[in-house]
Amino acid sequence: MLFQFIVFINKLSMNILQVLLVTILLFSRENQQGNRILFDGVSLDGWESVDFDGHGNIYVKEGCIIIESGHPISGIRWIKDFPETNYEVSLEAKRVQGSDFFCGMTFPVKDSFLTLVLGGWGGSVIGLSCIDGYDAANNFTGDIFGFASNIWYPVRIKVTDEKIEAWIDDYRIVDFTINDYDLSVRWEMESSIPFGIATYNTTGALRNISLKMITE
């Protein structure tokens, strides 16, 4: 009995030590890079599942957020404070299963909102929804990108008062000057504001989500 108790205490101590080490590493990385970590790799702290009709399960597995396929939409929404402009968001995303968008990132632009679509309309459309009421498949930010399943794609989006830019790895996919365009989201994405990530008939995975303020 004493031996079992000692083993239990040792396991408990190791678990506490692991949590402390992860916390220290995350804190150190935030300080070094000036980033705010939005996903700690072990919990959904700061996030909530969006109550889309027919949504799939949301959970953490092996350091990733898994957004299971919905019928048609599943997603998560950030419930803590989030800036309206002059910020960058970076993350890694992959399509686990399915053939439509595996990362529909809704984000604020001052007093408006947009969605960056990755892999929509059958799997390859990218761009911003909506510009003057036109979604990514029907406005000038739309393009085609060949996504493979089970491949991690580094994604970064930069929002300032004047421009919105986005990259997949080092390839810039969006270079949009706001001017006097009307910015909005499709009605399906309204539940994701101010900042959220959704999938469409597709299971997606996310990791390494961080936020950095632009001070220059």
Q: Each residue of 49-64: pLDDT tens digit?
A: 999 999 999 999 999 9
User: Which of 54, 78, 82 lies closest to 68 in space, CA to CA?
Assistant: 54
pLDDT at 34 (0 to 100):
76
Higher pLDDT, 136 or 21: 136
Contact assessment for residue 87 and residue 211, using Cβ atoms and an 8 Å cutoff = yes
The percent of residues in the chain predicted with pLDDT above 70, rounded, is 84
Mean confidence (pLDDT) of the chain: 90
Q: Which of 8-12, 83-87, 191-195 has the lowest mean pLDDT?
A: 8-12
Q: What is the pLDDT of residues 75-124, one digit of tens each?
A: 999 999 999 999 999 999 999 999 999 999 999 999 999 999 999 999 99
Check residues 24 and 189 and name the one with the higher pLDDT.
Answer: 189
Q: Which of 68, 69, 70 is nearest to 53 (CA)?
A: 70
- Range 35-213: architecture per CATH: Sandwich (2.60)
Any idea where the domains of the chain sit in the sequence? 1-33, 35-213
For residue 76, the cross-strand partners are 49, 197
Higher pLDDT, 10 or 181: 181
What is the pLDDT, as a whole number, of residue 13? Answer: 54
End-to-end CA distance of the chain: 62
Q: Which residue has the tokens 């970076």?
A: 90
Q: Over the stretch 111-140, which tens digit does the pLDDT of each residue have?
A: 999 999 999 999 999 999 999 999 999 999
- pTM, entire model: 0.84
How far is the C-alpha of 80 from the C-alpha of 194, rounded, in Å?
10
Q: Is pLDDT of 33 > 60?
A: no
